[in-house]
C-alpha cells in the first residue's frame, strides 16, 4: 500500500497490492497498518503521503530508512500518539503534516533532529498542552499550524527558538491568557491568528519586538481591551469581541493599516480623531455595534463627512446599524450615515 512517486520505474500498481486503492496525487486510502520494514527498499524517497487512511499507530523507527525524505503527510488518520523516535534519521525533512488526527499530547523531544523543517501542521487534533521545549530544535520553521486544538495555556519560552517563523495559527483553541513576552522571539513573524479563544486581554508590549507583523486576527474572543505596539500592522481583525470603548490614540501608531474590522462589539461611540493617523486606510467595518446616534458621536460623524471628500470614502449599509468604508466610491445608502451627519448640522 505504498506509493513511491519519486522513484524511477515505479508506478502505483508496482507498489500497491491489488486490494488497495492509490489516488492520483500519491495518497493511499484505507491503510490500517504498515509493515515495520516497509520503507527499507526506498531510501531515496523524497515525498510520502499517507493522508486520509486509518492508521492508529506506526511501528517504531519505520520511517528511519527514508534519509532523503523531504515531505511527509500523515494527516487525516487516527493517530493518538507519536513515539519519540518516530522521526529519527529524517534530518532533511522540510514539511510535516500531522493534522486531523487524535493526538492529545506530544513528547518534548518528538521533533528533535528536524533542524531543516520549514512547515509543521498540528491542526485539528486534541492537544491540550505543549511542552516548553517541543519546538526548540525547529530553528528553520516558517509556518506553524496549531489551530483547532484544546490548548488552554501557552508556556513562556515555547516559541523562543522559532526565530525564522513567519506564520503562526492558533485559532479555535481555549487559550485564556498569554504569558508576557511569549512572542518576543518571533521577530520575523508576519501573520498571527488568535481568533476563537478565551482571551479577555493581551499583556502590555506582547508584540513589542515583532517588526514584521502585518496581520493580527484576534476576533471572537471576550476581549475587553486592545493590544499595543502594533506599528507594522496592515490588517487588524477585532470583530466579535466585547470592546466597549476605544482610546483616541489607540490606532495612532498604525500608519500602514489598510483594514480594520470592529464588527459586533459593544461600541456606542468613537472619538472623532481616532482614525486621523490612518491615512492609507482602505476598509473599516463597524457594523453590529449598539451605536448611540446622538450628539455624543458628533466628532466621529464629522470625520465621516470629511473623509468622503478628502479620501473619497463612502458609507454603505444594509441596516441602520451597519456601515462600511471603502476607498472606492459607491452610492450612499446608509440610514445610519444620515443619522450621524444630521447630528453636525
Q: How far is CA 168 from the centre of its chain?
A: 5
Q: Quick check: 162 pLDDT over 50?
A: yes
Percent above pLDDT 70 for the chain: 80
- Does the pLDDT of residue 204 top 70, yes or no? yes
Would you say residue 12 has pLDDT above 70?
no
Contact between 272 and 296 under an 8 Å Cβ cutoff? The reply is: no
pLDDT at 102: 97
Q: Let me know: does 285 contact 331? Beta carbons within 8 Å.
A: no
CA dist., res. 332 & res. 308, Å (int): 10
Query: Is pLDDT above 80 for 175?
Result: yes
Residue 105: pLDDT band (50, 70, 90) is very high
- Distance, in Å, from the CA atom of 252 to the CA atom of 128, rounded to the nearest integer, reads 37
Q: How many Å apart are CA 314 and CA 188, to the nearest integer?
A: 36
pLDDT band at 307 (very low <50, low <70, confident <90, very high): low
Domains assigned to the chain: 1-147 (3.80.10.10)
In angstroms, what CA-CA distances link 193 with 56, 62, 159, 182?
A: 30, 35, 15, 14
* Averaged confidence pLDDT in the chain: 82
pTM of the shown model: 0.80
Amino acid at each position: 500500500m505504498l506509493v513511491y512517486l519519486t522513484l524511477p520505474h515505479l508506478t502505483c500498481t508496482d507498489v500497491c497490492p491489488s486490494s488497495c486503492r492509490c489516488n492520483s496525487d500519491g495518497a493511499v486510502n484505507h491503510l490500517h497498518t504498515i509493515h515495520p520494514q516497509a520503507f527499507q527498499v526506498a531510501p531515496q524517497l523524497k515525498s510520502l503521503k499517507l493522508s486520509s487512511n486509518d492508521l492508529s499507530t506506526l511501528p517504531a523507527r519505520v520511517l528511519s530508512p527514508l534519509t532523503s525524505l523531504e515531505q511527509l503527510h500523515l494527516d487525516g488518520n487516527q493517530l493518538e500518539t507519536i513515539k519519540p523516535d518516530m522521526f529519527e534519521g529524517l534530518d532533511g525533512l522540510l514539511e510535516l503534516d500531522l493534522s486531523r488526527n487524535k493526538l492529545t499530547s506530544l513528547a518534548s523531544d518528538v521533533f528533535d533532529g528536524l533542524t531543516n523543517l520549514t512547515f509543521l501542521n498540528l491542526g485539528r487534533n486534541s492537544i491540550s498542552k505543549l511542552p516548553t521545549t517541543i519546538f526548540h530544535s525547529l530553528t528553520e520553521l516558517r509556518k506553524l499550524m496549531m489551530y483547532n486544538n484544546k490548548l488552554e495555556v501557552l508556556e513562556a519560552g515555547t516559541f523562543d527558538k522559532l526565530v525564522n517563523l513567519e506564520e503562526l495559527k492558533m485559532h479555535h483553541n481555549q487559550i485564556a491568557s498569554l504569558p508576557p513576552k511569549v512572542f518576543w522571539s518571533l521577530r520575523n513573524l508576519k501573520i498571527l491568528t488568535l481568533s476563537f479563544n478565551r482571551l479577555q486581554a493581551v499583556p502590555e508590549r506582547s508584540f513589542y519586538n515583532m517588526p514584521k507583523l502585518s496581520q493580527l486576527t484576534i476576533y471572537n474572543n471576550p476581549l475587553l481591551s486592545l493590544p499595543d505596539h502594533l506599528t507594522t500592522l496592515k490588517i487588524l481583525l477585532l470583530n466579535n469581541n466585547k470592546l466597549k470603548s476605544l482610546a483616541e490614540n489607540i490606532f495612532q501608531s498604525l500608519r500602514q493599516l489598510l483594514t480594520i474590522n470592529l464588527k459586533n462589539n459593544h461600541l456606542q461611540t468613537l472619538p472623532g480623531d481616532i482614525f486621523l493617523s490612518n491615512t492609507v486606510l482602505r476598509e473599516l467595518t463597524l457594523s453590529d455595534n449598539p451605536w448611540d446616534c446622538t450628539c455624543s458621536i458628533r466628532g466621529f460623524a464629522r470625520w465621516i463627512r470629511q473623509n468622503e471628500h478628502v479620501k473619497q470614502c463612502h458609507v454603505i449599509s444594509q441596516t441602520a446599524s451597519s456601515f462600511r468604508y471603502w476607498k472606492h466610491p459607491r452610492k450612499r445608502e446608509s440610514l445610519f450615515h444620515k443619522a450621524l451627519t444630521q447630528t453636525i448640522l
